[in-house]
Amino acid sequence: MRFYPVFMDLNGRRVHVVGGGEVAARKVDLVAAAGAHVVVVAPQLGEELAARRAAGEIEHIGRDFVATDVQGAALVIAASDDEGLHECISVHCQRLGIPVNVVDNTPLCSVITPAMVDRSPIQIAISSGGVAPVLARRLRAWLEATVPSGYGSLAALAARFRDRVKARFASVDERRKFWERILEGPVADLVYAGREEEAATRLDAEIRRPDAGPPAVGDVALVGAGPGDPDLLTFRALRLMQQADVVLYDRLVSAPVLELCRRDAEKHYVGKQRSQHHLTQERINAELIRLARAGKRVVRLKGGDPFIFGRGGEEIGELMDAGIPFQVVPGVTAAAGCAAYAGIPLTHRDHAQSVQFVTGHLRDGTPDLDWPALARARQTVAVYMGLSGLRTLCEQLVDHGRAPDTPAALVQQGTLPEQRVFVGTLATLPDLVVAHTVQAPTLVIIGEVVSLHRQLQWFRPEEKIEAGEPAEVAVARAS
Ligand code: SAH
């Protein structure tokens, strides 16, 4: 080990920063956040430090550095652009035993600053000893993404209950087990969801319980799995998927997303058959309740966003009635995912001021929609479940006044490697789609914004199929 890590208490202590520019300002940000009394030595201050001085946040010595400027400092930071000066500061500090940090010059430092992930009171410091700062920063980015942003609040909650837990469990081993269960369980999730008081109530109840076994009631997370590309999951979705005991998933949850669930979790497919829609939904609701009552941590994984054509509202309604703790995690909905990956902005200053999400699902063979409202110009319509009713949909929009040459696209398996985009107009799209084998799921986008696809497409553009091409050519290109 070349450097020994320590955490330094700077609260109320003097930190002298030499330099008044942007680099110095970054350093000042950090030490000020740690509560230091900051003294900046520099003939002039850049914009940011000048603003801090005006706000009374720093002391400024407005001249060139002199040797006595290091006196009384708990830490000196050299952050000017004068290398000769830096060397002199370093020598001086080291002679007096004052810790010194020189930016971008490890050999002159007696202390180096790590890359940091701040989840106060939890802090993670990463260092490559100055040899590979880019690697340290990458590691930092990875940790930023992986460690929940509420980790600090969780630590604060644990601190609040520490003495009580100590009094409740005599042995170190019992305490460790208790905390492990709490810090990975529903209490932690409540904290991450910003429901800190509920978390405290639940933790309190856990401490009072006579036996320290796993909780009697589990919980349910209704999680949006996004449109298919696993990179589009939220951090929270991923965390819950990796903690789950049981995962109930839909037809639309892609295989790569499912792969990311905890390996040992039981995974149940609960995709619906169209004919038994109602019965199955009731069964799913009952199953969620049964599993949670058995103490399981359940993830109900749904394609896209659970509250957009996902029946999420019905599922949590039942959970609420049954008194089961739950949370809802939003996901990237198909319209947003397909539009982004097809290079079709859903709104645009020149083309569309609004966007409507509608379902094209046929009730008794006819889509049950507000046609005059949908046919209005200068708006985009995104149609979920629109494939089987596509012809009726396009005809109705034209009948209600939308121009037959309004651009329209059908995005198949959006965001996935199999994505294909069929581009035509209200007049041509139905025939174009019939001429090819289209794989579900598909999303239809109607409106002038579709014309931007040609210019803005960026994801697997070779798989685009346009009206006017012979079907065989288009298919050959797509395969
Ligand atoms: N809750 C989901 C929608 C469920 S309805 C969401 O927010 O996205 C199911 C419909 O969503 C499908 O019929 C299809 O129209 C659309 N859909 C979902 N994933 C899709 C994808 N990857 N590509 C295209 N359409 C998709």
What DSSP assignment string belongs to 456-467?
H--SSGGGEEET
Cα(345) to centroid(ligand 1), Å: 17
Rg (CA), the chain: 30
In angstroms, rounded to a whole number, what is the distance separating the alpha carbons of residues 448 and 453?
A: 10
Residue ranges matching CATH 3.40.1010.10 in the chain = 216-332
Distances (CA, A) of 277 to 112, 179, 282, 283: 62, 42, 9, 10
State how beta strands 379-384 and 407-412 pair: unpaired
Question: Would you state the pLDDT for residue 184?
Answer: 83
In sequence order, the 6+-apart residues with CB closer than 8 A to the CB of 472 are none
Cα(303) to centroid(ligand 1), Å: 7
Q: Which of 438, 443, 463 to mutate to test the pocket of ligand 1 (most atoms within 8 A of CB)?
A: 443
Question: Would you state the pLDDT for residue 276?
Answer: 53
| Token pair listed for 231 | 């990179």
Question: Would you state the pLDDT for residue 35?
Answer: 96
Q: Which atom of ligand 1 is nearest to the CA of 419?
A: 23
In angstroms, rounded to a whole number, what is the distance separating the alpha carbons of residues 2 and 8?
A: 18
Cα(306) to centroid(ligand 1), Å: 11
Cα angle: 346, vertex 348, 349; to 5 degrees: 160
Structural element, H or E, at residue 146: helix 133-146
Of 96, 74, 69, 73, nearest to 85 (Cα)? Answer: 69
Query: What's the one-letter identity of residue 21?
Result: G
| Token pair listed for 15 | 């930190």
In angstroms, rounded to a whole number, what is the distance separating the alpha carbons of residues 429 and 424?
A: 5
Of 181, 244, 243, 189, nearest to 211 (Cα)? Answer: 181
In angstroms, rounded to a whole number, what is the distance separating the alpha carbons of residues 106 and 26?
A: 18
470-477 contacts at long range (C-beta below 8 A, 24 or more positions apart):
471/435, 471/436, 474/436, 475/436, 475/437
Distances (CA, A) of 123 to 144, 148, 168, 210: 11, 13, 28, 35
The torsion angle over the Cα atoms of residues 432, 437, 441 and 444, rounded to 10 degrees, is 0
Cα angle: 118, vertex 223, 331; to 5 degrees: 75
Q: Which of 252, 257, 301 to mutate to test the pocket of ligand 1 (most atoms within 8 A of CB)?
A: 252
- Per DSSP (E only), the strands in 354-426 are 354-359, 362-363, 366-367, 379-384, 407-412, 420-425
Cis preceding-peptide flag for 441 (omega within 30 of 0): yes
| Ligand 1 proximal residues by C-beta, below 6 Å | 227-228, 252, 302-305, 308-310, 333-334, 338, 384-385, 411, 413-415, 441-443
**Whether domain 216-332 has CATH 3.40.50.150:** no
Residue ranges matching CATH 3.40.50.720 in the chain = 14-113
Cα(270) to centroid(ligand 1), Å: 16
CA nearest ligand 1 atom 24, residue = 442
Question: What are residue 408's DSSP bridge partners?
Answer: 424, 446
**Whether domain 335-478 has CATH 2.60.15.10:** no
In sequence order, the 6+-apart residues with CB closer than 8 A to the CB of 127 are 3, 5, 112, 114, 115, 136
Would you write out the chain's pLDDT as a tens digit for each of its 479 residues? 889 999 999 999 999 999 999 999 999 999 999 999 999 999 999 999 999 999 999 999 999 999 999 999 999 999 999 999 999 999 999 999 999 999 999 999 999 999 999 999 999 999 998 888 889 999 999 999 889 999 999 999 999 999 999 999 988 888 888 998 899 888 998 999 899 999 999 999 989 887 756 667 889 999 999 999 999 999 999 999 998 999 999 999 999 999 999 988 999 999 865 555 555 788 899 999 999 999 899 999 999 999 999 989 888 999 999 999 999 999 999 999 999 999 999 999 999 999 999 998 766 666 678 999 999 999 999 999 999 999 999 999 999 999 999 999 999 999 999 999 999 999 999 999 999 989 899 999 999 999 999 999 999 755 566 676 655 444 444 43
CA nearest ligand 1 atom 11, residue = 384
State how beta strands 464-466 and 420-425 pair: parallel
Q: Which atom of ligand 1 is nearest to the CA of 413?
A: 23
- Measured in Å, how far apart are the chain's first and last C-alpha atoms? 54
CATH class of segment(s) 14-113? alpha beta
| Token pair listed for 367 | 């889509």
Cα(286) to centroid(ligand 1), Å: 24
Q: Which atom of ligand 1 is nearest to the CA of 414?
A: 23
| Token pair listed for 51 | 């603003």
Place of tokens 């500090």: 93
As annotated, the active-site residues are 250, 272
In angstroms, rounded to a whole number, what is the distance separating the alpha carbons of residues 467 and 465?
A: 7
